Structure 1
Amino acid sequence: MHAGARRPRSFWPLAMLFAAFMVFLYGPTLVIVVLSFQGPDGGLTFPLRGLSLHWFRELANGLGVVDIGAALKRSLLLGGIVSALTMVMAVAAGLAFRKKFKGSNALFVVAVSSLIMPSIIVSLGIGLEFRLLDGGIKHVLQWLDWQDGLENFNTSMGLLTSALGAQLSWTLPFGLLIMFAVFNRFNPSYEEAARDLNATHWQTFRHVVLPLILPSVFGIGMTGFTLSWDEIARTSQAIGDVNTLPLELQGLTTTVTTPAIYALGTVTLLVSLLVIGATMGLSIWLSRRKGKQTHG
């Protein structure tokens, strides 16, 4: 807009609508963060009663019978593994789909159909599959007459089995769609130049393709971690006898009546922001490094 030019009449109504949307979107999160820093006499609603880190100290001491520290470690472990697998599998799938092959369209539809399925239905289905698997394992143990194994076996459902599969059904389609967008803009002349220099397929990928797409790959990892970090519906029926931090947080909303629940929400938000910030910083560093190498 040139200096002195008048704004159109629609500007201020649209600006107010946008501001209202931003308040609606981020206002609840801001309220939770503010209320988590209350004093010992603080409650679940305004007015704010003092300012302190009291409820964070209470959170560190534990909330009743819930082991927040163990749930946090489980969520970090699961999120890290989901992030790593999402990156590797999304890149592999993106490379495979660069060329047409028989059944590629059907395979793509199957791969992304998980996005439109109700999450709780996916979770129930995975839970049912693993219960059927448990029955099969018990029958095999009985057939082998392995009494010790039969007595010690409880379920194959767990953090790194059924819960991992449930979360990958949510993160992989996003990773695949991101890789499609990346390779859509990718210039194949770089690969052709590498092949002209007698580079193998692996050398071309390692030294040419991967450095160019690496910022996007880290973005896929960030997306996979953040989607895993706050996932509830797909994990709820497929995690077995342990809980991730979001599931513990959901359960605590009906039992904890102090701002400690807000302190837990603030901690989870901080972890998400740290992951996003670290990924963006790494992507910017890689882009600048690539630019220096190009102009060097």
Structure 2
Amino acid sequence: MELRHLRYFVALAEELHFARAAERLNIAPPTLTVQIQEIERTLSARLFVRTKRSVALTPAGAIFLSEARNVLEQFAKAESVGRRAGRGEIGRVEIGYVGSAAYAGVLQDQTSRFSRAWPGVHLNAREFPMEDLPQLIGEGQVDIGFVRLPMTLPHSLRLHTLLWDYFCLALPAGHNQAEWTDTVRSGQLAGEPFVAPEQEAGTYEVARRGRFTPRIVSAPGSLLAVLTQVSFGTGVSVVPSIVRNVVHLPNVVFRPIAGEPILSEVAAVFRANETSPAVRNFIQQTRESPQRRLSP
């Protein structure tokens, strides 16, 4: 038995007239008669009582009508869900991010905009170590990653920059450089103990400019952990400037670094050949988002 048989049966059960039901179904009355007979043979049950003047449901037909309607309704629902999923209107997107993407507001902006546009899609966002995200995205465990560049990516991944930031210096409040209101030159940091964030590019660029090798004494992971170490007096740290406005810890001060700003990007990373319609919609949104640039 096929869905069309159920549709034929329901139409006749509602019309109780072969000609009207056939017209509603856009088929010939004899064809409808044959189809109903096939259903009754398949079920080994009589569904209609027919006379020259009337058509009526049998008790078995009444019970079968309720179930047939349920099946057709469920099929219509499944069909609608399938179509919506194919358009990316429903589904799930796994998001991975590093802390500085959240501090910068990039993560919140992208997720809130997407949720307004696609309310039927569930977004699941989790923080990950930055070095793990490329592999997780490539393996399909994460769909979109918000990371801080520079980062080496495999050929299967693509990225779109959303924010241009720059690095600054975080120091313990009692540090001699913390008393300065002016910029700190890279050469003044030679010999200092460094607490390295996940993105170490800023640290090594400061060392390159100052012509020294950084003495990294701690690499605790997240930016909050890094700044906590700085607040303990463990060392100084080269961190994204955005944290100055969102993280306020006792015994931590921020100072600009002299010279050309050391730039860093916050970017969305995703698979080049994405197949999920919902994820493709998210990727399209990020690609259409203008880049923001923070001023030193």
Q: Settle same-fold status: TM greater than 0.5.
A: no
The structure having more radius of gyration, on CA atoms, is: 2
Q: Which has the higher strand share?
A: 2
Q: Which has the higher helix share?
A: 1
TM-score interval for Structure 1 and Structure 2 normalised by the shorter chain = under 0.3
Using the size of structure 1 for normalisation, the TM-score is 0.19
Greater RCO (Cα-Cα under 8 Å, separation 6 or more): 1
Using the size of structure 2 for normalisation, the TM-score is 0.19
